[in-house]
Structure 1
Amino acid sequence: MSQQPDAILDATGLNCPEPVMMLHNKVRDLPAGGLLKVIATDPSTRRDIPKFCVFLGHELLDQSEEAGTYLYWIRKKAD
């Protein structure tokens, strides 16, 4: 995505459940509608982050994987 994120969460090197726990805290600090870029290396985030978004009502705009690094673009739900 070419859009500038409001915040970046670098969870590189962390394993489940740490990336999702950090994501929960980071999203809480974003304004409604804010854009968050998440960088992770744990393959379980491919399952956990989409479920997190569905469960809490945030929008997963994009996810990709390149050379063992997983990128996620999340739009925080409007309050």
Structure 2
Amino acid sequence: MSEQSMPVTELNTRGLYCPDPIMMLRQALRKLQTGDIVEVFATDPSTSWDIPRFCVHMGHELMLQEEILDEKSQKEYHYLVKKGS
């Protein structure tokens, strides 16, 4: 990952359910500069459609969306969101 695409902040929303992950992402992005990146980790499956829709609606770029397995083989959701202008 290049230095320009390194996350500025990590957001751990594991164990939280809608609407908390989106609200936390929105608050985190408000504190950042245009082009900064937030890395989000979630366990709520609804984030797989909530975060992409949020990005489109608010003008942010969804750079990465993936499902991963944690150390207990539980599904997690991982996102990189670049703040729009």
Give the TM-score range, shorter chain: over 0.9
C-alpha separation in 2, matches of 1:31 and 1:4: 14
C-alpha separation in 1, matches of 2:40 and 2:33: 16
Alignment equivalent of 1:65, drawn from 64, 67, 70: 67
Give 3-state SS (helix, strand or coil) of 1:15's partner.
coil
Matched, 1:53 2:55: yes
C-alpha separation in 1, matches of 2:60 and 2:6: 18
Under a length normalisation based on structure 1, what TM-score does the superposition of the two structures give? 0.92
Structure 1 segments, 4+ long, off by >6 Å, are none
C-alpha separation in 1, matches of 2:84 and 2:19: 22
Unaligned runs of 5+ in 2: 70-74
Alignment equivalent of 2:18, drawn from 16, 19, 26: 16
- Percent of paired sites with the same residue: 45
TM superposition shift of 1:26: 0.5
C-alpha separation in 2, matches of 1:29 and 1:72: 18
C-alpha separation in 1, matches of 2:62 and 2:84: 10
C-alpha separation in 1, matches of 2:31 and 2:19: 19
